[in-house]
């Protein structure tokens, strides 16, 4: 799908690599971990090894996960405001690699949200709370994943940066 507003840049081509990376890191891997937890819960059961600390630990993990989610939203915005291209001639290819380079660490931070769920499961044996953390990481990924409207704005912002003479510094 070419975008008429942005000189026929292929927005689908721009967002596909970061989107696939995000789907693997934020959906497939956490879902596989959740399946492992479900298998362990169904076949072996886990005891609560931390006792009465299970409930306070859940709320501590929730607070940490919320802080991490807010951080990932802020970090994504900050990373995508930086210049990603050097010249207008190499604009489209550098945008593709620049967007992937900007999104990759943010997606990994979001995927790490699911680690709270796995850790909580192996400490307490509570599967339902584990699902909450995995589901929360899915939701945060949905908030930051690249979309066509986002790509249009990103292309326009990067063009404006080039016009101002602000380009990526690859030192």
Report the SS3 class of residue 2: strand
Share of residues in the chain with pLDDT > 90 (%)? 61
Residue 78 lies in a domain: yes
Q: pLDDT grade, residue 160 (50/70/90)?
A: confident
Q: In this structure, are residues 70 and 84 in contact, taking their beta carbons and an 8 Å threshold? A: no
Domain count, the chain: 1
Q: In this structure, are residues 26 and 141 in contact, taking their beta carbons and an 8 Å threshold? A: yes
pLDDT of residue 93: 87
Question: What is the residue range of 80's domain?
Answer: 10-163
Q: How far apart are CA 105 and CA 72, in angstroms?
A: 9
Q: How far apart are CA 94 and CA 79, in angstroms?
A: 15
Residue 1 lies in a domain: no
Residue 2 lies in a domain: no
pLDDT tens by residue, 2-52: 444 445 678 888 899 999 999 999 999 999 999 999 999 999 888 889 989
Residue 3 lies in a domain: no
């Amino acid at each position: 799908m070419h975008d008429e507003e942005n000189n026929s840049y292929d927005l689908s081509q721009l967002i596909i690599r970061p989107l696939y990376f995000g789907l693997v890191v934020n959906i497939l891997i956490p879902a596989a971990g959740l399946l492992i937890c479900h298998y362990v819960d169904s076949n072996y059961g886990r005891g609560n090894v931390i006792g009465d600390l299970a409930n306070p630990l859940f709320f501590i993990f929730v607070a940490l996960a919320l802080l991490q989610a807010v951080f990932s939203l802020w970090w994504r915005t900050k990373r995508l405001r930086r210049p990603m291209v050097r010249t207008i001639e190499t604009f489209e290819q550098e945008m593709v690699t620049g967007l992937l380079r900007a999104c990759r660490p943010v997606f990994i931070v979001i995927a790490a949200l699911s680690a709270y769920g796995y850790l909580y499961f192996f400490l307490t044996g509570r599967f339902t709370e584990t699902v909450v953390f995995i589901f929360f990481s899915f939701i945060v990924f949905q908030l930051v994943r690249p979309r066509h409207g986002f790509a249009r704005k990103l292309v326009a912002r990067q063009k404006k940066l080039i016009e101002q003479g602000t380009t990526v510094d690859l030192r």
